[in-house]
Chain A
Amino acid sequence: MREITLSQAVNEALAEEMRRDETVFIIGEDVAEAGTPFKVLSGLVEEFGAQRVVDTPIAEPGFMGLAVGAAMTGTRPVVDLMFGDFIYLIMDQLCNQAAKTHYMSGGKLSVPLVLRTNLGATRRSAAQHSQSLHALVAHIPGLKVALPSSAYEAKGLMKTAIRDNNPVVIFEDKLMYNDKAPVPEEEFLIPFGQANIKREGSDITLIGTSSMVQVCEKAAEILAAEGISAEVIDPRTIVPLDEEALLKSAKKTSRVIVVDEGHQSFGITGEIASRINEKAFYHLDAPVLRMGAMDVPVPFSPALEDITVPTPQGVAENARRLMSREMIHAA
């Protein structure tokens, strides 16, 4: 199968959906001729025109609000938010308007909108361009949240998101845009709420999101060499969450580490760990561990930034602790 980059995969998904449905349009800063700073959208304005690949002023709340109204009245906007960190700027439009419109109208209005943005540190971009803020939006009922972990996932999830009648936020890892993966030529969609078992294992479950799936897979390699069989699961979407698949694996291996690049406190890792604790407690042989980004603003210096995010070595080390007879936080 051919291999394409995550960036190309997103581009293909958008192009295919825009060809299929003329109500789909892209709106955001420097999305047209510039094709975004990451060049993900290059070529789309040439095919679909400036009417459907709309460059906006630098006014995130404005174009987000505009997209909500457009979605409510019959189009399917794909909003391009250049950096995930800017999500704070659009919170009212995303969380008070988009997320609640369907509910507050008793089901009469809907907001079929995709918010494309990114996450991920270690790009030396400092604290305002490196955050992974998906937990913020996952907290808000009415929004769906997808976290593609490869080019294949990015394409399939984007196409599903565009066809979804709810507001969907997709966070791409900005460090993975050039990562290649096999992606079929023929059309495919990846349904929401269906976790992907990336690697089967029997001793411990590593649940990873976005680029942390790769981290977990590398950790599983390290562990395999030591005789520890790790299962790696990618939930793909955290809202909806494939709780059943996660619980099934947790019950199978009885040890779980949840790895996510959002801040560790009050985040995705805690939510997933808590659900496993609630629903698979009697199958657990060790505490469910959370591994998120360090609870500090992302520092600029490479020497500091690199230690704030989970690494394969760190995941493997925690897996060893769980596999050993160590008494973890059991005083």
Chain B
Amino acid sequence: MLMSPAKKKSNTEDYLRMYRQMVRIRTFEDNANQLYLSAKMPGLTHMYSGEEAVAVGICEALKVTDKITSTHRGHGHCVAKGAEFKQMFCELLGKEEGYCRGKGGSMHIADQSNGNLGANAIVGGSMGIATGSAFTAKLLGRDDVTVCFFGDGATAQGLLYEVMNMAALWNLPVIYACENNGYSEYTTTAEIAAGSITARAEAFGIEAHRVDGQDVLAVNTLTESLVARARKGEGPFFIELMTYRYHGHHVGDINREYYRPKDEERDWKENKDPITLFGAYLTKEGIATAEELEAMQADVRQDAAAAVEYALAAKYPEESEVDMHVYTDVRHALA
């Protein structure tokens, strides 16, 4: 399979960036988790740790102008699509400098400048939006591709089938990326999804793939090819990415043995961690030394710590913001 020569400067640079992006996601989530546990962060949040190869493998195959729609477990997609720690932590803490000026929070970060149309707190809620984004590209003759991230749990939503039907009918440049982390909230996927997940897409004539979501190169390689084809009007596509979430459904979901054994979690963390696996690959291939990777991790940790510190000290929005952005053309909706 040929990589697009225009995009690639060298594999080394790409690989190191993918590694760094996965580390950034993991580090972001570790900090977010600590903020929550130390009661510095309002609301609730859903950790992406363990699934980094999915977001990074896919987003590294996209251009800035390509779009994604994200989910309640969306920090990883946001980082992978190019967001900055500072504005992300500010948003998590409800601060004015957040990506959404503190109005969205963890479950609604949108970063339009990088093509992130926003996380969605309604499971499956963004499937229509992603398909519509692809519709725009087709209608206006743009070559954008849109990736719709959703979980295995969202395959139970009827909206998916309505929009896959239309995307297939109209050959829309959209890739439905199903992150199958094995659990639909507090229930194993086997209990909520009958039959095959990829077969659902295939029923509409959509080409569907199943890939190891812990292998960032496998994910990236597959996505690169599907994105290129989608740009040519061969979409839509469907990918089922087999992955695992290290935390519970949300940060407060601590006692989860009733639905998931600890042994299973340990096995994924020890043997299938996407960062560890890719780090081993990079050292084995001589692309980076263990020390260089450790230095990169330390660098990212420092970035994150500085961003957290900044966000904690940042100011909240003025109260007068409360009725702003209700309508585009009315500065204060209640004035």
Contact = CB atoms under 8 A, between A and B. Distances in A.
Contacts of A165: 328-329
Interface in A62-114: 62-75, 77, 92-93, 96-97, 101-110, 112
A73 B158 contact: no
Given A57-B165, A164-B329, A65 B129 contact: yes
Nearest to A64: B128
Interface residues of B, number: 48
B132 to A, nearest CB: 2
Contacts of B325: 102-103, 105-107
A61 B162 contact: yes
Contact of B166 (A63, A74, A93, A108): A63
A59 B108 contact: no
Given A104-B108, A105-B110, A66 B326 contact: no
A230 B215 CA distance: 75
Of listed B129, B325, B330, residue having the most chain A CB within 10 A: B129
Closest 3 CB pairs of A and B: A65-B128, A69-B132, A62-B162
Nearest to A27: B135
A225 B162 CA distance: 57
Contacts of A93: 128
B140 interface: yes
Contact of B159 (A62, A101, A105): A62
A166 B128 contact: no
A105 B108 contact: yes
B333 A141 contact: yes
Given A59-B165, A71-B132, A72-B133, A96 B329 contact: no
A69 B326 contact: no
Nearest to B96: A106
B328 to A, nearest CB: 4
A244 to B, nearest CB: 13
Interface string B132-157: 11111101100010100000000000
Contact of A75 (B99, B120, B139): B139
| B interface secondary structure, majority | mixed
Interface of A: 23, 25, 51-52, 56-57, 59, 61-75, 77, 92-93, 96-97, 101-110, 112, 141-142, 144, 164-166, 240
B166 A69 contact: no
26 contacts: A23-B140, A25-B139, A61-B128, A62-B128, A65-B129, A66-B128, A66-B129, A66-B132, A67-B132, A68-B128, A69-B128, A69-B133, A70-B133, A72-B133, A73-B133, A73-B137, A74-B140, A75-B136, A75-B140, A92-B125, A102-B325, A103-B103, A105-B110, A106-B325, A108-B99, A165-B328
A88 B122 CA distance: 17
B311 to A, nearest CB: 15
B327 A72 contact: no
Nearest to A90: B128
Interface in B164-213: 165-166, 169
A166 B328 contact: yes
Nearest to B165: A57
Interface string B212-231: 00000000000000000000
A69 B100 contact: no
B98 interface: yes
Given A59-B166, A65-B131, A102 B327 contact: yes
